[in-house]
Amino acid sequence: MQRPELRENSEMRAYCPECKSICTFHSRNPDQGGNHYSSFSVNFSAEEILSAGKDENGYPYNRVIYHAYKCGGCGRGGMSASYISTKNSKKLKEFYPSAITHELLPGTLPEEIKKEYKEAEICFGNRCNRAASAMIRSTLEKILKANGYKEENANGFDNMWLTTKIKEATKDGVLTSARGERAKNDIKVLGDEVVHRDWREVTDEEVKNALQYALWIIRDLYDDRATTEEILQTKGRL
């Protein structure tokens, strides 16, 4: 999936729900000599300046500018909100229409796992990276449990650690060793840090990697479901 991207020339690359594709939203009106469409800015309070953070050179963001856009394909309007620093550098805060694209998932994937993965995409699309990281970890755990990697006690609780699930799936050949390693490092460890350790910012790149590896694992297990089930039955998992 792709988030809205603010270009250097103030144009926006974003998903247009009318065109149903990634389009360029223009900030200038060619019929009015290339002048910008409507915009206005709002200065931050001292508290808002602290929460908005700083630009790449360490200068604080002290106001937000709202800017109108027009889709180059269908002409649909758009609106952005961007942070502006004291040195006039700009960082996109949000863009409307806020359509979030979803990856195509295999039809054999259980519905509850589809919803879990899509919720992670929604979190990421709304810039909630920590929430997305936790949801991707949860998705991985549910995938492996659904494929028999669990040890339920008398009370019905699963006693198998996620690390063990990944190791067992790799040993069974359901996951390649490389995929298992990435599942541990890019999904499990990241999710554990979010839930159990001190707060830190989770980067877009970390979430993109986690989403990508979770998607590959989903396809590994569900694209050719009959073959996967045959392996799992041979290993006594199903």
User: Where in the chain do CATH 1.20.120 domains reside?
Assistant: 111-234
Domain 111-234 belongs in CATH node 1.25.40? no
Lowest mean pLDDT among 93-102, 137-146, 178-187, 197-206: 93-102
3-state SS, one letter per residue, for 95-154: EECCCCCCCCCCCCCCHHHHHHHHHHHHHHHCCCHHHHHHHHHHHHHHHHHHCCCCCECC
| Residue 1 pLDDT exceeds 70 | no
Exposure on the CB side of residue 186, measured as CA atoms within 13 A:
20
Percentage with pLDDT > 90 across the chain: 69
Residue 195 has pLDDT above 80, yes or no: yes
Rounded CA gap, 140 and 74, in Å?
A: 39
Higher pLDDT, 156 or 180: 180
The string of pLDDT tens digits covering residues 41-63 is 999 988 888 888 888 899 999 99
Work out the average pLDDT over 28-53: 85
Residue 197 pLDDT greater than 80, yes or no = yes
Residue 219, CB-side half-sphere exposure with 13 Å CA sphere:
10
Average pLDDT over residues 77-87: 93
